[in-house]
Structure 1
Amino acid sequence: MSYSILDVIVSPIMFSFKSLILIIVHTKDNIIPSSILLCLDGLYCTCFGISMGMFAVQFIYRYLFAVDSKHLQTFNDHRIIYWMMVPAIYGIIWGSSCYFLLAPSYEKDKQLENILLLTFGWEIQDDTYLGPYFYQIQPDGSYKIDLMSVIGATISWLMVSASFFAILFFGIKCYLNLSKTMRLTSRKSNHLSSQLFYALVTSTIIPIILLHIPIAIVMLFSFFDKDLGILSGITSVTIALFPALDPLPSMFIVKNYRTTIFGNQLSEKK
């Protein structure tokens, strides 16, 4: 909910032009000062990093629950603080790298000045942003690799990859365990296991499609100096959709939840 509220306040737009990737916040006619909006832009990036860390912890928990591991107890006592630290650390690293390594600069302003005016009709002084500019065009027409952008983007890429690997690895392990359980249990238990299985598959696909793949594509295109333009704005839409869509698989697929929400009659029809 905090992430969604921040999204409404900041209204960020992801924009890509060749090797430039920016999360832009339009500051004109906004009652919040541009300096604070820049901080909120960094906080928005922090929330995105927290989400990445949360996915990993969620799928580790699901796996431990599926196999009835003794380590599941770590979620039920004071040791849960260690699990909670994972998304917190993720968010701090992601937000800090964006805010300090990918901050606005003169080179980015010059590259962005005409692009913003032609694409959105905005003046550069009416906007603030965060993001990398890998290959900076010099006055003589040559290119200079920006070290801060490379470091910041590398950190982000590694964190996306680690989150994606955790989802895929523990998701597959859960799938294998649930498949085995479905073969060995009674029809009633089998029905519940199949619901959990389909909820797991759907909840695995949603963050991968809405978060991991769009971010990876935008970063990959920019790294190779390829232009996505306003198409990169789709990423802003998918990120905004995620908080609303993420809970739906469990709500609609698992019968107990469906019955509670919609009542017995609708649940039986489904």
Structure 2
Amino acid sequence: MCCLTMRDMFFLLENSFGLEKAVLKKLLAIYSGILCSTMSMLAVQYLYRYWAVFDTTKMKYFEGWKVIFWFLFSAILGSLWISGLVFYANPAEDSIQYFREEISVRYKRNIEELPSLIMMPYHPVDGSIRWSAWDLTFIQTIISSVQYGVMIFCGWSMYTKMDQTIETMSKNAKQLHQQLFKVLVIQLAAPTIFLLTSLSFIIYLPFLDLELSIPTGSLLCSFTIYVAIDSIIVMTVVKEYRKSTRKLLLDSLIKLQKWLASDNGESGPKTTTFRMEQLDKI
């Protein structure tokens, strides 16, 4: 569950698995950090494709043991995100008191019994600035700027240089690079819609100091949806991936048909004929 007031941000994780509240609180921060690492790897993917087309000499940084650097890059940004939440979003007593009635009315629960992370840009009583929330927002803004800065730079550079670069390539290579470029464009739009927009709404709206209360569970769900959508984008746009996916699906159907045929006492040639007919259509 997650509740957002336009003055304060509140994350609430249902107590489950029989774990202690302190452990669940850290798991909530880790979950958010994993999403940050996912975005970092997407930025690395943009850089890889940019260098693969326009600066092949730098591809050596993706070979052998050097690939570990990119995993460390993703892990470091994710760790910074987690650390920021753990150190700066730990609920203070006045924060708990402020949300007590809200959680009791909306969720019928006692906030002190539930693991939570709270970011309050302003003090609930006198309205003074709480610098811990501003520090956390600064960290998150820097991390997000690095990720999207890399993606936007690589995406725009590929857009402006693509036609000139692929002129000397073969027809198949041109087609593949054009498909990969389409993937990059869609992959930039998808996280913007499902991640950046939702994240910006949750992080920055409390700084407007408005007295509103909005459940944001649907926004948090969009974070999880993006992971599946990113894979679907690649499989549907790139022809070779689409073929591989269809063949994998067909193989699964063939195995299922063989299993059903064996149960019914049928022979195998019909299954083989079905497979060849389907492969001819791909």
Q: TM-score range by the shorter chain?
A: 0.7 to 0.9
Alignment of 1:131-170 (within 5 A): 131-138=118-125, 142-170=126-154
Instruction: Tell me the CA shift for residue 227 of structure 1.
Output: 5.5
Alignment of 1:81-160 (within 5 A): 81-138=68-125, 142-160=126-144
CA distance in 2 between counterparts of 1:26 and 1:35 reads 12
CA distance in 2 between counterparts of 1:266 and 1:110 reads 64
CA RMSD in angstroms, aligned pairs only? 2.4
3-state SS, counterpart of residue 153 of structure 2: helix
Instruction: Tell me the CA shift for residue 186 of structure 1.
Output: 4.7
CA distance in 2 between counterparts of 1:121 and 1:189 reads 60
CA distance in 2 between counterparts of 1:98 and 1:81 reads 26
Structure 1's consecutive aligned runs of 4 or more residues displaced over 6 angstroms after TM superposition are 264-270
Paired position in structure 2 for 1:14: 2
The counterpart of 1:44, out of the listed 31, 45, 66, is 31
Q: How many residues align?
A: 254
3-state SS, counterpart of residue 144 of structure 1: coil
CA distance in 2 between counterparts of 1:220 and 1:266 reads 52
Cα gap change, 1:248 to 1:132, in 2 (>3 Å): same
Instruction: Tell me the CA shift for residue 135 of structure 1.
Output: 0.8
Q: Does 2:248 correspond to 1:242?
A: no
State whether residues 221 and 228 of structure 1, in contact with CA within 8 Å, keep that contact through their aligned partners in structure 2: no
Instruction: Tell me the CA shift for residue 180 of structure 1.
Output: 2.9
The one-letter amino acid of 1:230's match is I
CA distance in 1 between counterparts of 2:208 and 2:238 reads 43
State whether residues 104 and 128 of structure 1, in contact with CA within 8 Å, keep that contact through their aligned partners in structure 2: no
State whether residues 10 and 116 of structure 2, in contact with CA within 8 Å, keep that contact through their aligned partners in structure 1: yes
Instruction: Tell me the CA shift for residue 133 of structure 1.
Output: 0.5
Which deviates the most, 95-104 or 201-210?
201-210
The one-letter amino acid of 2:39's match is M
Paired position in structure 1 for 2:203: 219
Q: Does 2:218 correspond to 1:230?
A: no
The one-letter amino acid of 2:195's match is L
The one-letter amino acid of 1:190's match is K
Cα gap change, 1:266 to 1:99, in 2 (>3 Å): farther
| Structure of larger gyration radius | 2
Alignment of 1:18-97 (within 5 A): 18-27=6-15, 30-97=17-84
State whether residues 95 and 124 of structure 2, in contact with CA within 8 Å, keep that contact through their aligned partners in structure 1: no
Cα gap change, 1:228 to 1:258, in 2 (>3 Å): farther
Paired position in structure 1 for 2:264: none
**Structure 1 gap ranges (5+):** 1-12
Paired position in structure 1 for 2:254: none
Instruction: Tell me the CA shift for residue 111 of structure 1.
Output: 1.3
**Structure 2 gap ranges (5+):** 251-276
**Deviations along 1:25-73, whole A, 9 cap, x unmatched?**
022x652221211121121122122123222222111211121421111
State whether residues 14 and 235 of structure 1, in contact with CA within 8 Å, keep that contact through their aligned partners in structure 2: no
State whether residues 259 and 266 of structure 1, in contact with CA within 8 Å, keep that contact through their aligned partners in structure 2: no
